[in-house]
Amino acid sequence: GNSSEEGGKGGVVTAKKDSTLDPANILVVVIAAVILVYASHRALRPPFVDMSPGSAEAEAYEEVAEAGEMQLQTTFVFVVVASCSLMLIFYFMSAMAVLITILFSFIAALALGALIYPYADAWTNNRFSKEMDIPWLGPIPQLFFVLLPFCGAVVLGWLLTKSWILNNVLAISLIIFFLTSVRLSSLKVASCLLILAFFYDIFWVFLSSNIFGQNVMVKVATGLDVPIKILVPLIFSTGSTLQFTLIGLGDIVLPGLLLCFAMRFDDSKGISLTSGYFSKTLIGYCIGLTICEVVVGCYHLAQPAMIYLVP
């Protein structure tokens, strides 16, 4: 969700109660839109891959993409698993915080490697494309081991400094990794997923305190310091400490699945991206997120963005 509450989310200082709407609130919308446009294009046509009909690379990519297709029953499992994970972290925060940090660090390093891999491969003229057979893991390209120290250094730098820039690099990598690994099989699945996410957000943000005595979502969000949010420094902030507005990755990833589906549909029907469903879905996303950011910036209330985005 989005936040501009005074205080900290995982050590992050957000806007003071007396501050007004900041340009950073609108910049969040622009950043989210740019990420989604890139991720949708990359999910449709990966960089430096021959996606012409009938090519061996296109068929291999399609086979992998179909394996990551989300079906109707998966959407219910997704929400149930997310809810159970929230509960586990809520009740066992201190025990799970270290484990989750290690897990996210590992996944973030892989995601960053996957993000830059095709560009590094092209830049080195495929010099490290040869695969090495590693016990338990199977064939791994040599480039993986070339990129590993760099990705590890970025994650280590974030762990040691908690830099908001490194946080954003890892968060963006995670978004693109997810959107290029998972896709929706139909509009019915997209509708089901987003409607479930809508009620999931409402329950855990607004109703959970009545049952559990505390706001479960806020406690988990403030207790975990992992790259699950994009931080944008406030331009008109006062004081010596940087203040931020933020957007949770779920508010980009879940609508992003629908955007990827819309682009794939437009492409399959030969419809221009500017006149098809993709552009209209993207405009709707930007309008919903802008409304959310205006509410956050003006009233400083923590808002689950999905309640604005899903409608």
Annotated catalytic residue 251: yes
Whose CA is closest to 115, among 38, 53, 192?
A: 38
At 160, which helix (H) or strand (E)?
Answer: helix 142-161
Whose CA is closest to 33, among 306, 289, 271?
A: 289
Annotated catalytic residue 201: yes
> How many angstroms separate the CA atoms of 137 and 189, rounded?
33
Q: Are 133 and 120 in contact (CB under 8 A)?
A: no
DSSP letter for 166, please: H
Active-site pick, 22, 201, 225, 266: 201
Whose CA is closest to 196, among 278, 83, 42, 59?
A: 83
Cα of first residue to Cα of last residue in the chain, in angstroms, is 16
- Joined tokens for residue 129: 């494309």
> How many angstroms separate the CA atoms of 289 and 282, rounded?
11
Identity of the amino acid at 40: S
Active-site pick, 22, 121, 225, 251: 251
Catalytically annotated residues: 201, 251
